[in-house]
Structure 1
Amino acid sequence: MCLDSSPASASDAQTRFVNSYQSGDTYSGEWKNNTRHGEGTMIWVELGQRYIGKWEHGVQHGLGKHIWILKNISGTHYFQSPHYMGDFFKGQRHGQGSFYYAGGAIYRGGWKNNTKHGQGKFTTKDGRKLEVEFVDDKMLTARSTDGLPVLESDLSVVGDDMALNLESLLEKVPERNRRTELKHVESVVSLHRSELRIIYGFYSRLGRSPDYSLLMSRLQLWRLLKDCSIHAHELPLTRIDFFIKGEASGEEIHSPFTTVHLRELLSCLVVVAYCIYHKDMMSQRHLLASCFSKLITDNILPNARKVKGFLFRQPGFAVEAVKYTERCWEVFEAFCRVYVSHRDDRIMTFRHLMLMFKHLHLLDDQLTFMRLVKIITAARADPPCVELEITFLEFFEVLVGCAKVKCLQVSETLEEDQVLLGLTIKSAENLPEEETDEAKGHSQLTGNVETGEMKSQDEQIPPFAEHEVRQHEEDVHKNRTKTQTHLLLQLQMFLEHHFFPAVAHYHRVTEKMEEVLLKEAQNSKGL
C-alpha cells in the first residue's frame, strides 16, 4: 500500500516536505533519508484511502489513523467512512486499535498482522456491547454484557473496503425488508471475508510481477468469472460489465484497464448471484443472501484460483504477454467500430471475430477456419452462438491460441518445438488438449480398501537421493522457463510479423478505398 517513492530534493536530515506523485497520490509530512519518516499524511487517490500518523523508514509505524473513503450511497445505510485508529507495526495494523465500520459497528481490541486477534470489545450497529475474542480475524467467542443471547445479526459487519453498493438490486425488495436483507448479505460476506480477500489478491496479481500489488482490473475480473464458469449460466461477461459501471463512460465500461475495487467485486457478485439463482431460490426468506451464499459455495470457492485459458496459466509468460494488451485493445476498438458503428460501447461478437480474421487474411493451411473455431471454443463446454458478445479477454486469448498454431516453428527444428510444448501435429489440430490427472493436481491412490489406509503411488516408490531430487527440480524449472520463453516467442512472432502488419495493411487499403469513393462522389457532383 505504501508507495516507496520520494522526492529527489529531500535531504538526509529529517524535514517536512509535500510531494505529489505521478499517480496523483500526495504525501505531506516529515522525511528522513529520502523516505517518509516521522509525522505525515498520505493520500492514495485511486485507492480512495488516507493515512494520518507516524511513519518509519517509508511505512506506517506507530500511532496512526487509516481511512477508507466511501461515498454515502442512498439505500445502503452507510453513514461514515470506515477507519482504523491505533497501533501500526511495519505497515500493518498490529497492537491495540479500534476499527469503525461503515455501518456503525465498532471493534476495540487486539490486532496482529492486519487482523483482529485477541480480546476486545465489540459495539454492534444497534448499540449492543459484546465482549469478544478473535484469532486471525475469526471470532471465537462473543458474550453480551446485557446477558441476552448474541444473535447472528449482531455480528454482521462489513469492514473497510468491503462495503456493498446494492442500491439498484435492493429496489427489487420491499422497502420495509431492505435493511434486513442487506444485513444478511453482509453476514455472508463476513463469513467468507478471508477467502474473498485472498481470491481478490490472487487475481489482482495475474499478469503482474510478484511484488506488484494494485487493484484488480476488468481483465483479471473476467478471468475470475470465467474460471468460476459464470458465463455458462447464459450470463455474458459483457452484461456483467454493466453491474459495476459506476461513473465509467461507454468506452470504459468494457475496457480491460478499468480498475475494480474489492467492494465493487463483491457488489457485482451479489448481482450475478441474483441473476443466476433467483428463480431457484424464490422460496427462501432472504432471497439476496441465499443467492449470494449459493454462488460463493457452488461457484466461487471451488473454482477460484484454478486458472484456465491461454493467457494467465503460465505466470512468467503472462507478465510479458500483457504488455501487448494496449496495442491489441486499440485493434479491438477499431474493429468494434467497423462492425458495430452505431454503438458507443466497445462490443464484438464471435462472428465479428471470425470476420476480422478473414478480412485480415490470417487464415491459411496452418491456421484454418476449423482450427480458429476450436481455439474460440477451447474454454467452453458447448459451442457458443456466433452472435454471443465477447470481452477483450476472450479476444486476446484467441490471439494467444492462434500464435501457438500459426507460429509453431519458431525454434531451429519442428522436433524441438514439439518437445518444448509437449505438442504433436495431431494435438495442434485438436485444440484444446485435455488436461491429464497430473496437470489437474490429482494423484492415483492405492492401498488397503478394508482399513481405508491409502497411499499415493509416489509414496510407494523408493525416494530419490537428495542430489537427484535437486537436479530433477532444477530440470523442471529450466524446462518451465524454456517453455514460457518459447510461448512468448510464438506470440511475439504472430503479433509482430502477422497480426499487426495485417491490421496496418487493412487500414491502408480501407483509407485508399474511402479516398477513391470520395473522389468519385465529388466527380459525379461536378458532372
Structure 2
Amino acid sequence: MNEMNGIGLRIYPSGARYVGQWKNGVRDGVGTMVWSNRNLYRGEWKCGAMNGYGEYVWNGFFNKTFTWPQEASYIGHWRHGMRHGKGEIKLNSVGGAKYSGYWKDNKKHGYGIIIGSNGEKFEFDPLFLNDILYAPNVVADNLENEIETKNEKECVRTVKEIKPLFIEKPDQLTETLATPILKPEQFLDLFYYIARLLDPKSLEPSLVLSTSSGKCYSCENESCSCLTHSVSIDATTSEENDISQTNASKEMIDSNWRYEERWTYSCLMFHMFRLRQIYNDYAKLFAKSAPKCNLAMSKLCLWQLWRDCGIHEKGFSLVEIDSYIAKNEITGIKDPHHPFEKIEIWQFLHALLETSWHLYTKHNDIEIEEMNGKLAGGLHRFLKNDVYPHAGNHIGSLCYENQDLLPIYCVFELYQQIGYPPSARDLLRATCNLKDSSFVFFNGMIIFSIASSL
C-alpha cells in the first residue's frame, strides 16, 4: 500500500541508518538504528520509537578485534523512546562503574544499586526519586509493580505525594549520600581478607556456644550437650568478665583491622601504576591492533597471566584459583570458569589478593620485612617474586594464533552444549562422534580404542 512494511534498510540524509522491521511506514518490531554521531540502538520498536527491551550505546564503533571495550551503554526496558522500567547503565570509565535499577520517563526512579569503580555496592529502595539521589528512609514508590496502563491522574497524584517530602525536609537535599562511584579502583572492600586473617569465625555463622578451648570443663567431653547451653554459674561475675574480655578483644581486633587495611591500601597504591600497565597489556593480548579506548580484561587473559607467572606450578590448579576467587562474593564473578567474562581492574586486584593469600599470606612461618602488614606483605612478595619477573613472557601459542573471536567463541558454545564444564573424555566423545570408545592420555598423545560396533 505504498508504505514500508516488513524487513528493510533505510539510509537517511544525515547518514543515519536503520535495518529491521517496518509497519505502516514506521519502525516497528526488532531493528538496529545507527545515528550519524555513532550512537546506536538495537532492540524493540513500536510506532517509530524505542519501546520494549533494547541496548543503547553511546559513541559506538565496529570492533574487529578480540577485545572487550568499555562502552557507555544502557541495557533495559524502554517506553515511548525513553528509558522506563528496569535497566542498567554502564559508564565508559576505568573500573566499569554502573547503575542498575528502575527508571521512569528517562529518569532514575525507585530501587537501585550503584557499583563504583572499586566494586563497592551502594543499594537502597528508593535510591533515586526523579533523578535525584534520595535518603533511604523514604517509602518506596514501588515502580516495579507499575503497569503499562497506568492513567495520567495516578502519575500526577504520585508526584504530588512525593513533592511535600522535599519541602518539609530540606536537609535531605543538602545531606548528599556518599557514593563510591568516584572512588579509585585500588580502594577495594577488604572485609573478606581481613576477616579471614584476624577473625575467621566471623565469615561463618556460629550455631553452638562453646568455650575457647572447644571442650566442656564440667564433663571433659568435647562433644557433650553442655556446649549447647549457656553457662549460668556465678552469672554476675562471669558476665562482667565476659564483657570486659569482649571489649578488650574487640578493641584489639579493630586496631589490627585498621592497621591491615591501611597498609594494604598503601601497598596497592605503591604498585598501582605497574598493575595498570599489566592489566592494560593483557586486556589487548589477543588483538594485533587494539582500539584506542578503555579495555577490560577477559578471564582468558587472566588465565594467560597465571600461566606466564607459573602459578599453576605452585601447588594448586587454575580451576582451584578460579574457585577461590569466586568464593568471595565481593568479587562479583558470575561464572568462575567462563573464559569470556569481563574482569574489571578492581576484580583483577581481588584476584591478586586471593592468590597471594594462598601462596604467601596464610603461611605464618614467612616473615615479611619489606612491607608492613600481613596482607600487604604477602601481596608485595607475590608481585615482586612471581608477577613482575614473568608478566609479558607469554607461554604457549594461544596469544599468537587463532585470535579471531568467532571461531573461539563457537568452540566454547559447543563446549557448553556438551555439558558445561565437560571433561576431556566428554569433549572428545562428542566432537569425534565416538559412542562406545575408550581413550588413554599418554605423554601428551591420545590413544583411541574404538569398539567394533563403530
Please report the TM-score for the alignment, with normalisation by the length of structure 2. 0.45
Higher percent of residues as helix: 1
